[in-house]
Structure 1
């Protein structure tokens, strides 16, 4: 499971890392390669959908390659997910609670094509544009949330926690509202 934060807060200190935030350059997502982004810009790409935190079934071939068409998402999420809001309850310290939580980086992104098709990281990596509803484009969180819901994007209100759930029960909770 992996968790990625939303846009950094507006102060000079990033609440997720405790470090000083770097400024977002104008239209950085279209002007710079992913490898050229600063930490704040990288974090700002996240749309906050929470899909990456859902438990999924990923089959790898003998070379470790994943056929993204065969990835199956469940509606079961990491124990840290607040299913009402769709946000991680302990983002900054999540690996203390969930040691195998994956930190999405430019180095591991090429091996994570199981991310949903609307994911800004995946889209930019593949040379595609941001979804029209992305906060970086709308500049309005309310509009973005409304358009994400209209596009059937996000786990808020439609996920359940992995807490006290058996592996057998999880296997019955495969969903089809996320496309890798």
Structure 2
């Protein structure tokens, strides 16, 4: 029997789609893009609505209304979002790859993503505490990005 998280993304229910999120919080970090190369750089600066302990949005149902550039992932748009982390379950599943062993759906433990060092817990800084012109000073390159 195939587990539901191994099914094609287009076949998932809304609840199953949401459950694929590993809770790393990386999609809620501010990113900078090089105008010449198009390369995307993650910063450790998070959206003000990210709870940096749980790595979940405190305003999830209203996030798109509160944050103009907040992107709602759907089966129709996620493939075009090249900035998603390489460890993101949506990217992995789209490529037919299995979820990582630390993913809560595999481990059965929602804290496994944090213990594995994949989440932004303890590493993110709310945009409320960072001047908008200083985001470049907060670019990060986490070794475990490709775990």
Question: Normalised by the size of structure 1, how large is the TM-score?
Answer: 0.72
* Contact 2:22 2:113 (C-alpha < 8 Å) held by counterparts: no
How far, CA to CA, are the matches of 1:44 and 1:85 in structure 2? Answer: 15
* 1:151 aligned partner: 116
Q: Deviations over 1:27-64 (max 9, x none)?
A: 1122x211111101100100011000000113477xxx
* 2:95 aligned partner: 126
How far, CA to CA, are the matches of 2:56 and 2:43 in structure 1? Answer: 17
Aligned residue pairs, count: 145
* 1:108 aligned partner: 77
Q: Secondary structure at the match of 1:102?
A: coil
Structure 1 residue 150: deviation in Å?
Answer: 4.2
Question: Normalised by the size of structure 2, how large is the TM-score?
Answer: 0.87
Give the structure, 1 or 2, with the largest relative contact order (CA under 8 Å, sep 6 or more): 2
Identify which of 13, 25, 33 aligns with 1:58.
33
Root-mean-square deviation (Å):
2.3
Q: Secondary structure at the match of 1:163?
A: helix
How far, CA to CA, are the matches of 2:122 and 2:114 in structure 1? Answer: 11
Q: Tell me, yes or no, if structure 1 residue 174 matches structure 2 residue 142.
A: no
**Which of these two proteins has the greater Rg computed from alpha carbons?**
1
Q: Secondary structure at the match of 1:172?
A: helix
For structure 2, the residue ranges without an aligned partner over 5 or more in a row are none
For structure 1, the residue ranges without an aligned partner over 5 or more in a row are 1-25
